[in-house]
Structure 1
Amino acid sequence: MWIICLALIACVTVEAQKVSNPNTRLLDNILSYVDTEVSACDDYFGHACGKYAKKHLDDPFTEITQMVDHKVNQDLLTLMQELEQRSLQPNFNRTGVEAKVWSFYHTCRNASSDTRSGRHYLTLVPPDEGLTWPQFTPEGSVWPGERFKWMETLARLHRYGEVNILMKVFIQSSPNNSSEYVMDLSMPSLEETGQRLRPFLETMRTLAVLGVPTASAITLTKKIKSLETALRNIIDEDDDDTNGQYMTVRQLQRRTGVHWQKFIELLLGQPIEPQFRVNVQSLGYFKALVQLLNDREPNVVASYMMTRLMLYLWEETMDSEEPLECVKDVRRNMNLATSLLYKERFLGSAGHLQRNSASVVQTFEQLRRQFLRLVKRNRLRLDRTQRKMITQKVHDMVLNIGNMPQHIDHRRYVSQHYASLDMSSGYLDYARSHLQLLEFRNRQWMSQLSHSPHRVSEYYYITDSSTGMSSSPYYMIRQNVIIVPYGFLQEPVFLPDSHNVFKFSLLGFILAHELMHAFDGHGVIYDGQGNLSEAGLQIGNSARFEAGLECINRNETAYLNERVADIDGIQLAYDAYFGAESHQNRTQPDFTDMPLQRIFFLNLAQFFCGNGDASNFLDHDTDAVRLKQTLTNFAAFYEAFQCPTALSTERCQLW
């Protein structure tokens, strides 16, 4: 009996040690996806990811970045439950960051469904003061179309973000001075489904939902669809000034015949001088737009703008009172606040964040050094000036963990950021709170015109909604910054105590991918300060650079720069760990007999494993295609899995 008990205790102890060992845990997770019946040489995605779909059949995510976001959302849900309890305490700071986050979450969860309706949104966003949208005109009255000024209404609608109605308004860095921001005016995009009116019957139903009487919905649908067709035609016809031209508001008014100063003042919420400078792309479009809108019935123009606004607003909300959906709503609308609270609650104990950050920075520095070795080898045969520019850009690149300004008190910074946002209201009104947050974010974007950070260490990216909900790293080309959200630094992507082979093969690859965006076909033309560089333009136009791009694009892709980042990124991560000049310890670890090379490529595959629909992949090829192209003719991969060498052994690469 004692022998049996001791044996059981020993077994339990061994299993507990395996679970507590980060390397064993990571490797077991990797192997749980592997389908050994599929050849790694013939179908590596099927081999490395073959059992992923079955394992995660009932999970609310389809790949690793969604898994990480789901974990972050679950953590934030726990935080919201804690804030609910704290909000009941008499010492709860009702003007602090927590109170503002809790207020929006509480409103999302508990506001009446009537406050989410399109009609309610439209009562809060009228076309002008004292003027309603046409369908809300009292029975027996005529909508006063003569009071409708489409230019002023357009400005009011653009206060809620990148609405893409009749034009785009962006605040972006000047080409030759990345620390100087300018207002950019350009044509709208009607290419994507969410950027234009829906098909005829859907548009009719949308108008009905927004209160348009059934009797007039058919005629109005025809007219606003006709207006959008005419809009598309002038977009297609106009291809001049594609690089834009700087001009004053006074000059723009003179050339288009409309009151742009009033438009910008309404948008900014403050007066401007006639000498205010803007960058106008496709001036011919704006001339034609003025003519088009002046020729159409005011109620048709107003109804088109109103419908497009509501399509935008519906896209900007999770439209659900479910707890996790409301957490996502908070993230997308209050990203800076949720990042701070996530950091303090889940990463703040026992130096957890410092340990994680130090490990990530150490990995990134190895990647930086490896890329500098590539520049020194000079495969592209750059001249001295070109090498100097690229080298300086690599040195200048900043890794920003958490999307927070560096070397300052984050709590104080975030509190000041939201100081002007008043979320206190006795009546729970979802649309009012949502519009308030959209307008607040847009004011932050616009404020860059007057006080943008002059040092990259002060930089914080004001996220759009989709970026705000995501924990995935990204590269800011004009700031030369890689941003790694706090939520990404967790298992299975990253464990600070894991073996370095895991760090370099997954997070290392992801960081290398983002680093390579600084030197792909688009990024290479900017220097380390984010300014257009003559040396960079020369590199991008050089025969060897163009030949590298052409080789990488043999299996044609619409996302060439992403493929460049994948192919050169995996080479960079691999060489940073296995390269002859690397100082990494590559002795066989005691937690497995599997060769380190094989672990490297199996762990890399975790980034691409998934069971999502092809429509889920925005601005990228599918994961299966990406993984195949990333490893095509990669000799180290063939060696790791003992694959026969391909007939064509040329490995395409850029750097």
Structure 2
Amino acid sequence: MEEIFAILRGTFSKYVEANRLQLKSEELTYVRDKLNAMKLKLGNLPEEKSSEYYNEHYRRANFSDFDFIKNLEQALALRTYLQHAPLLVNESRLQLYQYYVNDDVTKARTSPYYENERNTLIVPLIFLQWPLFDHRQHPIFVQSLMGFILGHELSHAFEQEGILYDSLGNESPMGWQIRQSELFQNSLQCAAGTPFASLKERLADLNGLQLAYDSFFGLHHDSQLFEYRPYEFESEFLAPQLFYLSFAQFFCGSLPPVLGHDMDDVRVNVSVKNIQQFAKDFKCPLQKKHHEQEQQQQQLNYCQMWRPSQV
């Protein structure tokens, strides 16, 4: 997980340096600082194992040997105190050796999620098992699934809501300044061009898939020169095609859509539609088979926010 996260962050750093949004120097510094300070946390349990840590952690609670209701009240009071105590400390942020409890029931705790106030991407341990993740899988399947999921969550830090929070998880005027910039707004309008359940989830899908793709193949690869033959029964597919098929397979099912997300088929179709390489990877013909002008016009129709356009 750490390796996948590091690769994704490195690719996004290349996006930032290309400066597609034409950000000012101080705005670029704001984005760089946030990206570099972002943390990955596996599981939601303390890393501390010493009895001294737990004695100090629960010092303020007055637990009883026989009164369950009182103990519950004490635990809730302690949690509330610990969640608000950092407000008294300048430039405080989540201490990653401690666990974090969130009362937001709209978020699925079994799937990875990003916390704006802590600039932290959390991956529940239950998620790290077959068929979602297995270290024996070929990297192309790991990157197309887990790379997309982590890329999706990383991207939440830089969509229209996440950008408002700085590297320490505090709301910042600089984030509002970036959000109101012309090119940022143009990207929002492009992504909002078709119906959606949540614009920020749409943006995370678009950027997350592109980020995972670029992290595996590189920003300047040529699919026509790259061949991949992992298994004999898959010899008909090239690597980029397998990447998309593995990504799409994740959304194959009969479950209802996740709260605040588009239907699964919509998420897949909209995401691949906005990846410029998809048409090349599957050799899709242009609607009009003429000249560079048509190709340039199609390129303008791709909704991308951070990825540099001239690659």
The two structures share one fold, judged by TM-score above 0.5: yes
Alpha-carbon separation, structure 2, partners of 1:434 and 1:603: 49
Q: 1:641 to 1:400 in 2, by over 3 A?
A: same
Letter in 1 for 2:99: Y
| Equivalent position of 1:595 in the other structure | 238
Q: 1:421 to 1:473 in 2, by over 3 A?
A: farther
Q: 1:469 to 1:388 in 2, by over 3 A?
A: closer
User: Alignment length, in residue pairs?
Assistant: 284
Alpha-carbon separation, structure 1, partners of 2:50 and 2:259: 32
In structure 1, the gaps of 5 or more residues are 1-359, 426-431
Q: 1:572 to 1:411 in 2, by over 3 A?
A: farther
Alpha-carbon separation, structure 1, partners of 2:156 and 2:178: 15
Deviations along 1:545-567, whole A, 9 cap, x unmatched?
00000000000324000000000
Alpha-carbon separation, structure 2, partners of 1:468 and 1:631: 25
Q: Is the Cα–Cα contact under 8 Å of residues 8 and 151 in structure 2 kept in the other structure? A: yes
| Equivalent position of 1:476 in the other structure | 115
| Alignment of 1:450 onto 2:75 | no
| Equivalent position of 2:293 in the other structure | none
Shift of 1:491: 1.1
Q: 1:624 aligns with which of 257, 265, 271?
A: 265
Q: 1:653 aligns with which of 301, 304, 307?
A: 304
Pairing 1:289-304 to 2, within 5 Å after superposition: none
Shift of 1:478: 1.2
Alpha-carbon separation, structure 2, partners of 1:544 and 1:636: 22
| Equivalent position of 2:309 in the other structure | none
TM-score, normalised via structure 2 length? 0.80
Secondary structure at 2:96 match in 1: helix
Deviations along 1:88-126, whole A, 9 cap, x unmatched?
xxxxxxxxxxxxxxxxxxxxxxxxxxxxxxxxxxxxxxx
| Alignment of 1:490 onto 2:129 | yes
Letter in 1 for 2:166: D
Alpha-carbon separation, structure 2, partners of 1:561 and 1:435: 41
Q: 1:394 aligns with which of 35, 42, 45?
A: 35
Q: 1:651 to 1:402 in 2, by over 3 A?
A: same
In structure 2, the gaps of 5 or more residues are 289-296, 307-311
Q: Is the Cα–Cα contact under 8 Å of residues 106 and 259 in structure 2 kept in the other structure? A: no
Q: 1:521 aligns with which of 160, 176, 184?
A: 160
Alpha-carbon separation, structure 1, partners of 2:116 and 2:240: 32
Deviations along 1:134-153, whole A, 9 cap, x unmatched?
xxxxxxxxxxxxxxxxxxxx
Alpha-carbon separation, structure 2, partners of 1:417 and 1:520: 35
Pairing 1:99-498 to 2, within 5 Å after superposition: 360-405=1-46, 408-409=48-49, 437=72, 440-441=75-76, 443-450=78-85, 454=93, 456-464=95-103, 466=105, 470-498=109-137
Shift of 1:447: 3.3
TM-score, normalised via structure 1 length? 0.40
Q: Is the Cα–Cα contact under 8 Å of residues 568 and 653 in structure 1 kept in the other structure? A: yes
Q: 1:548 aligns with which of 163, 166, 187?
A: 187
Letter in 1 for 2:84: L
Shift of 1:371: 0.4
Structure having the larger proportion of residues in helix: 1
The answer to which of 376-385 and 552-561 deviates more is 552-561
| Alignment of 1:571 onto 2:214 | no
Q: Is the Cα–Cα contact under 8 Å of residues 505 and 604 in structure 1 kept in the other structure? A: yes
Q: Is the Cα–Cα contact under 8 Å of residues 2 and 40 in structure 2 kept in the other structure? A: yes
Q: Is the Cα–Cα contact under 8 Å of residues 207 and 304 in structure 2 kept in the other structure? A: yes
Alpha-carbon separation, structure 2, partners of 1:565 and 1:460: 26
Q: Is the Cα–Cα contact under 8 Å of residues 567 and 630 in structure 1 kept in the other structure? A: yes
Alpha-carbon separation, structure 2, partners of 1:651 and 1:519: 18
Alpha-carbon separation, structure 2, partners of 1:412 and 1:472: 32
Secondary structure at 1:518 match in 2: helix
Q: 1:502 aligns with which of 137, 141, 166?
A: 141
Percent identical residues: 35
Alpha-carbon separation, structure 1, partners of 2:205 and 2:25: 27
Deviations along 1:505-533, whole A, 9 cap, x unmatched?
01110100111100000111221111222
Q: Is the Cα–Cα contact under 8 Å of residues 609 and 623 in structure 1 kept in the other structure? A: yes
Q: 1:424 to 1:646 in 2, by over 3 A?
A: farther
Alpha-carbon separation, structure 1, partners of 2:51 and 2:143: 32
Letter in 1 for 2:302: R
Shift of 1:573: 0.7
Shift of 1:422: 6.0
